[in-house]
Amino acid sequence: MQPPYLAKDALDIGLFTNDLEPMLAFWQQEVGLTFDHMLPLGGGVRQHRHDHQGGVFKLNHSRPPLPKAAGGGLLRLIIARDDITEITTKIDPDGNQVTLVPPGTQGIHHWAIEVAANSEEEFLAFYHTALGLPLDGGDHTAVQVGRSQIIARIDPMLAVQTNSETMARKGYRYTTLQVQKVDPVHAAILAAGGTEGQPPKTLGETARISFVRDGLGNWME
């Protein structure tokens, strides 16, 4: 059962880049994501939002140079598409890995993000216990976010501490849960063992956001 705080039945994915045009071409033409609109974020960053069956792929283009991608962290995006008949792995111009799969592969019918973890216990402490996300069909190395999944890759060699002080780095940098009320959800996650990334704040007239981090420093909006 999904936690009642969720306002949408899909996970969003955030990525940063300095090279807009080749990245747009790859994610739209090679991966098949649909461009929706561009959202200025300030500080020389523009978010190019793409749709995948209700999930948002946030391609954040930064004019200021970004630091290199941190080790470990968010490893791979796995996307299920109806027109895909065999598993195909691609690498985008920045070196990010994405795998296209037929629907149902590993139980994936929407998309899934693969996260490095030292152990099953470490992964579950944040994604299952602190966030309250249900296990994916009893699999203790995956949780469900509506139609999406977060999958652990248990590998201490990959699960190095990410640079938790700087979210804006090249590569997959954060995931997003759309929630009903940010402040109580943020407080509940911290009380359950999550780490604060940024406290709740209001953007414009409609959006209120915050960030929390898992045990390795990976960011979640």
Intra-chain end-to-end CA distance of the chain, in Å = 21
Confidence of residue 210 (pLDDT cuts 50, 70, 90): very high
Q: Which among 117, 159, 162 is positioned nearest to 141, based on CA atoms?
A: 117
What is the pLDDT at residue 163?
Answer: 66
- Do the Cβ atoms of 60 and 41 come closer than 8 Å? yes
pLDDT tens-digit map of 18-28: 999 999 999 99
Residue 96's pLDDT band, with cuts at 50, 70 and 90, is very high
pLDDT reading at 161 higher than 90: no
Spacing of C-alpha 176 from chain mean position: 6
CA pair distance 51, 41, nearest whole angstrom: 18
pLDDT over threshold 90, residue 215: no
Residue 182 has pLDDT above 80, yes or no: yes
State the pLDDT at residue 139. Answer: 77
- As a whole number, the mean pLDDT across the chain is 94
Confidence of residue 164 (pLDDT cuts 50, 70, 90): low
CA atoms within 13 A on the CB side of 217: 13
Split at pLDDT 50, 70, 90, the class of 208 is very high
Residue 124 in contact with residue 140, Cβ under 8 Å?
yes
In this prediction, residue 195 carries a pLDDT of 93
How far is residue 179's CA from residue 3's CA, in Å, rounded to a whole number? 10
Helix (H, G, I), strand (E, B), or coil: what is residue 184?
helix
Show the tokens assigned to 8.
Answer: 């949408």
- Report the predicted TM-score, pTM, of the whole model to 2 decimal places: 0.95
pLDDT greater than 80 at residue 65: yes
